Structure 1
Amino acid sequence: MRVAIVHDWLVTWGGAEKVLDVLLEAFPDAELFTIVNFLDGESAPALQGRTIHTSFVQRLPGARKHYRRYLPLMPLAVEQFDLKGFDLVLSSSHAVAKGIIPDPETLHVCYCYSPMRYAWDMQHQYLRETGNAKGVTGALMRWQLHKLRQWDYLSAQRVDHFIAISGYIKRRIERCYRREASVIYPPVEVARFRHDRPREAFYLTAGRLVPYKRFDLVVDAFRHHPDKQLIVIGDGPERARLNAMAGPNVTILGFQPDPVLIDHLERARAFLYMAEEDFGILPVEAQAAGAPVIGYGKGGLVETIENGRTGLHLVEQSADALAQGIAGFEARQGVDSAAFDASWCRENAMRFERKHFLADLENSLASYLGAASEVS
């Protein structure tokens, strides 16, 4: 069986790329298609020796740093991929990858991280980040995003089967695309973490420092707790602003390699996360390392954190709510030393192990392929 995997773009090695890594392992002979690829073998070993097809956007001026500015061209770019002769196309999509045009006889399954946020609920952020929030250019970009939403909906009708990364995204697929989706949670490498190391006094947050992740709320919350320490791991456009906000009890380490992140997760008193996340691999990794999670109780965290057992769901996305959550967390631990036990966190994280993802994916694809062969 000839398999093609279509991934939006390869610029950083984040959560979607961790899933891609597992997909490439599951289909070692698959050919990979992506809009742009600016990762080298050192930063992405999974890509070494792999046949990778890129689009014309790869060769456009400034694409390496400003590829998002070419978003209006990406529907055209992804539709140009020649997928003739493949039996299965698996799109790994949070933007345009699901918009490919496969052969009529090809089965197209989309593993969807989210409907395209740039066209839907993150439109205003996208305009600000690209410097097109105002003026004639801004008006033109709004029109282009309107057309992009139309394409996004229509291209979703070309997908044979959707698989969502969470129940939260399943509902967004139904709302945006009017399509049903099954749910398979992303894989987490639980075995990489120890959960039995002594917990230390510091709190930890980590991830790409972009506006929608709301690291500003985490940093701001520690103004209410000057006696507590916060460590921030990650880099991104918000770093300068966070540095300006940070008090003496906040340390921003910037980007750190995985061993450093793992070491901090294994020692942190708790992991803090205020984004309304589609799934959120880092909070699950924190639990794998025995760290309870205090975070905004909407989106994927509702499905990955057991409220009151492996962490706390906050009802508001605000610095005050997080500050109160930390105080409540400490008060409960002061009364019950077994509260938020590391073994409970680890047990919960094991629901998302790689083996479960692979088994569920294999069963789903077998079912889809079997149904397609019966029809043909």
Structure 2
Amino acid sequence: MQGLVLLPVLLCATYHIALSATNVTVADGLLDNGNFEQAPNASNMKGTVVVGRYAIPGWVNEGFVEYIKSGQKQGDMLLVVPEGAYAVRLGNEASIKQEIKVVKGMYYSITFSAARTCAQEERLNVTVAPDSGVMPIQTVYSSSGWDNYAWAFKTQSDAVMLIIHNPGVEEDPACGPLIDAVAIKALYPPRPTNKNIMKNGGFEEGPYIFPNTPWGVLIPPNIEDDNSPLPAWVVESLKAVKYIDSAHYFVPQGRRAVELVGGKESAIAQITRTIVGKTYRLSFSVGDANNSCAGSLVVEAFAGKATLKVPYESKGTGGFKRAALRFVAVSNRTRIMFLSTFYTMRSDDFSSLCGPVVDDVKLLSIRNP
């Protein structure tokens, strides 16, 4: 009888602890005032310059930080804000930071919108100690002037400090990047299954995509990020790849895919377990994202020493085809990689990079090849 009495009490206690933990940890989506729509008090403003470390609700700012309204002019340049009506600009050595409640030992990705203003080689240093990465933002992938970036980290405690810092030193302290719409998403390491040796082959697990920004999310090269925002995959190139969703693009399978937007400088790779001497079949989809990326697109696939070029004649209106590469494993670990052969620009916008879409990557061993 004692066991019967104690069991509900224990269940209630366990449930209460879990509920409490849920309440204190951050949910997927915008951070506290992540879109900067909650403005500083007028007493904390000197023109566009924010005065006081705690002036912007939800954030702590250091250095020359400006609060920018959409449509504001700087000389002959019109400053555009991607989400809502307000953003912040980080001047020389300026930063914004926010403490976030997280689950210790988990992986998270940060997604944020950024645009450069008057400096040519603007960069952003994103830090969640001990992880840190410098994101080059001088290459603009969309004609709007804004791009969304993702960066990932692994937690070492149940509270972390996110810091976004402009390390630039310009003659004009106002020549710094604009920041808007900062969000977070928990990442769950995918596992292989009996139907697919590849992990996250459909790219369904990845960074947060803002529901109202049709630009996708740029995933930086792995030299900038030790923890990939695209679980199981790394960007093994000098340029970023674009993570896209079915709400704004054509996606061959599921809700997410990857667009290779930087030619041969835009590549994704994954190392999988294989058995030496066994034959495997790597299959995948190649297509276009329905974003006016028209013309001759080519995806190159690599599986160890085996290669395959897959041409795709794109009309830029969405579509895909399947391709497959057979190979015999020569190692117990095989590197699978995809890249785009050519640089391509959108036919309706010659200032926006685009490329072929890769999706639904599957790897299986063949018993009787």
Report if TM-score (shorter chain) is over 0.5. Answer: no
Whose Rg is larger?
Answer: 2
Structure number with higher helix proportion: 1
Structure number with higher strand proportion: 2
* TM-score normalised by L of structure 2: 0.27
Q: Which has the higher contact order (CA 8 A, sep 6+)?
A: 2
* TM-score normalised by L of structure 1: 0.27
